[in-house]
Structure 1
Amino acid sequence: MSRRLLLSVAGMGLLSAAGCQLASHDGGDGAVPAGVLPSEPASPPGSSAPPAPPSSSAAASPASGPVPAQPRKVSNPLFSLAADDRLVALTLDDGPDPVHTPVVLSILEQYRLRATFFLIGENAARQPALVREIAARGHHIANHTWSHPDLRGIPDSTVRDELLRTSDLLGNTTGRTPTWFRAPGGDWSDASLRICAELGMRPMGWSVDPQDWARPGTSLITQRVLQTIGPGSIVLNHDGGGDRSQTIAALRTYLPVLLDEGYRFTAPK
């Protein structure tokens, strides 16, 4: 189905909703940095095999513990990939969720795509096997704090605890220390950016926000993604934090459309 036809169908009955100005749930306002990130594009549909899970020889095992992260230079959040072709990144926030995350993983496997999962520490602590499954399927595991607080209104020591506990848990669970961090709500603070760098992570925002967290309807989620995506986009979706059945239905709808249009998906390293 072409994007034009899909948008025409999705837009029926939604003219008033689509005409409203969207208030960003997880928005950011930083500048787009220059330079292309090293990445491993996923294979397009029809390729011979899905991305191979990491081998035990290529990564540290949870039993041996993750390799400690090295401090990085403090930087502004990344809001889009510097790409002049149709390379985009899909990110999922607020998981892992025992109901919705496995379905998302199945969809990604169907289309042979890799994504970045920004996990909440306390959710990951309750679902360690699911965290390991996400990593084993070749997706990137990233830090979304321990309890999803507004980092702008808490002491620096609490910010550090939120990030450090989550990185330690994810590293010990998968054998891989997270290299990306996302502030809840996209609400960055000087402390969160500094501590993110000290823990060896880089901050990632997004450029496409369909506000699926608010459950506006599958058609509207799909429409917002297809209308705003472009080369280098970072797409925000949610696999946790509530009923994500609309998000799942939207993924089933817009992913094949984007792939048919020549888009390629990557999980930035």
Structure 2
Amino acid sequence: MGKSAVMSTIASAPESWPWPPIVRASVGWHLLAVGAAVFVPGAAPWAIGAIVLNHVLITAAGLTPRSSLLGPNVTRLPKAAADRREIALTIDDGPDPEVTPRVLDLLDAHGQRATFFCIADCVLAHPALAREIVARGHSIQNHTAQHRHNFSFLGPRGFAAEISRAQQVLEETTGQRPSCFRAPAGLRNPFLAPVLHRLGLLLVSWTRRGFDTRERDAATVLARLTRGLAAGDILLLHDGHAARTAAGRPVVLEVLPPLLARIRADGLRAVTLPEALAA
């Protein structure tokens, strides 16, 4: 199936959301606990404990970026892409006027493609740079409007406002409507999945990450990304909010040259997420 057909299928997805088993079980658990508290003498403390335990489980699922308990979550490329020896290099939190142009030059020099999960407010601040990302063969996807630190605490309306606004800004700026979404830090709650479903967006996390927003040693970041590197992996780096080496250089710029060389040496090819997910 071609990319356009896949996008059409996603866009025409039904409005109703098939709630995941853990969410349906949570509703039943709450009803059972309330019923026990009301009708069973002395059961109230146990019922409260059961509800608290349930909330802890749901919260833990939302705080685990690679979890699929709260809804679909792409953590690896599909088998067809892995069979083609493809990986996805994803770069978050930009565009950044200092770092992103040099990232683009490095990608061009090695003949590889990347997916940039961009913050809409940064795109508004640097629209020409966003258009250059697309013009040079890369993909821009949705990383919310503002990258709010309290994003995982939002409800349905808050999620819809942040994500819809980002969709509009990114499409109007680049001419391409995002099909993938990544939450800030990968954190979320049960209300996110139905909003993404309604907007025709796929939640994408990663296979491995370098923690390059806080790790200043490029060798450590590189080791995290390349340890067990294999076809189908989704790698995470940052052009925005990038940590700096002791010499003051953005870590991503130190990591990319040896990482891209390793990708080529292993017979792998970095492609955009829409390309990898289209089949």
The alignment's TM-score, normalised by the length of structure 2, stands at 0.69
* CA distance, structure 2, for counterparts of residue 72 and residue 95 of structure 1: 30
- Larger Rg, first or second structure (1 or 2): 2
* CA distance, structure 2, for counterparts of residue 120 and residue 240 of structure 1: 9
Q: CA deviation at 1:95?
A: 0.3
Look up the SS of the partner of 1:230 in the other structure. coil
Q: CA deviation at 1:154?
A: 1.7
Cross-structure match for 1:192: 192
* CA distance, structure 2, for counterparts of residue 72 and residue 106 of structure 1: 38
Cross-structure match for 1:70: 11
Code of the residue aligned with 2:128 in structure 1: it is A
Is the aligned partner of 1:98 residue 2:94?
no
Contact persistence 2:182–2:204 (CA under 8 A): yes
How do 1:119-198 residues align onto structure 2 when only pairs under 5 Å count?
A: 119-149=118-148, 150-198=150-198
Look up the SS of the partner of 1:252 in the other structure. helix
* CA distance, structure 1, for counterparts of residue 239 and residue 13 of structure 2: 29
Unpaired segments of 5 or more residues in structure 2?
18-70, 245-249, 275-279
* CA distance, structure 1, for counterparts of residue 228 and residue 185 of structure 2: 20
**Higher RCO by CA contacts (8 Å cutoff, separation 6 or greater):** 1
Q: Which has the higher helix share?
A: 2
Contact persistence 1:88–1:234 (CA under 8 A): yes
Cross-structure match for 1:240: 240
Code of the residue aligned with 2:76 in structure 1: it is S
* CA distance, structure 1, for counterparts of residue 12 and residue 203 of structure 2: 13
How do 1:1-269 residues align onto structure 2 when only pairs under 5 Å count?
A: 70-72=11-13, 76-83=72-79, 84-85=82-83, 86-149=85-148, 150-243=150-243, 245-269=250-274
1:54-111 CA distances to partner (integer Å, 9 max, x unpaired)?
A: xxxx9xxxxxxxx9x8254665110001334432110000000000000101011111
Code of the residue aligned with 2:273 in structure 1: it is P
* CA distance, structure 2, for counterparts of residue 247 and residue 186 of structure 1: 19
Q: CA deviation at 1:266?
A: 1.4
Look up the SS of the partner of 1:250 in the other structure. helix
Look up the SS of the partner of 1:190 in the other structure. coil
Q: Cα RMSD over matched residues? A: 2.2
Code of the residue aligned with 1:229 in structure 2: it is L
Look up the SS of the partner of 2:213 in the other structure. helix
Provide closer, same or farther for how the CA distance between residues 243 and 215 of structure 1 changes in structure 2, counting only shifts above 3 A: same
1:160-206 CA distances to partner (integer Å, 9 max, x unpaired)?
A: 11101110000001111111100111113222221112112111010
Q: CA deviation at 1:130?
A: 0.6
Code of the residue aligned with 1:173 in structure 2: it is T
1:188-233 CA distances to partner (integer Å, 9 max, x unpaired)?
A: 3222221112112111010111111113311111111111422210
* CA distance, structure 1, for counterparts of residue 193 and residue 113 of structure 2: 26
Code of the residue aligned with 1:250 in structure 2: it is V
Contact persistence 1:114–1:267 (CA under 8 A): yes
The alignment's TM-score, normalised by the length of structure 1, stands at 0.71
Contact persistence 1:209–1:225 (CA under 8 A): yes
Code of the residue aligned with 2:264 in structure 1: it is L
Q: CA deviation at 1:129?
A: 0.5
Q: CA deviation at 1:117?
A: 0.4
Q: Percent identity?
A: 32
Look up the SS of the partner of 1:213 in the other structure. coil
Provide closer, same or farther for how the CA distance between residues 195 and 71 of structure 1 changes in structure 2, counting only shifts above 3 A: farther
Q: CA deviation at 1:262?
A: 0.7
Decide which moves more: 236-245 or 132-141: 236-245
Provide closer, same or farther for how the CA distance between residues 259 and 250 of structure 1 changes in structure 2, counting only shifts above 3 A: same
Decide which moves more: 207-216 or 110-119: 207-216
* CA distance, structure 2, for counterparts of residue 193 and residue 224 of structure 1: 29
* CA distance, structure 2, for counterparts of residue 249 and residue 179 of structure 1: 30
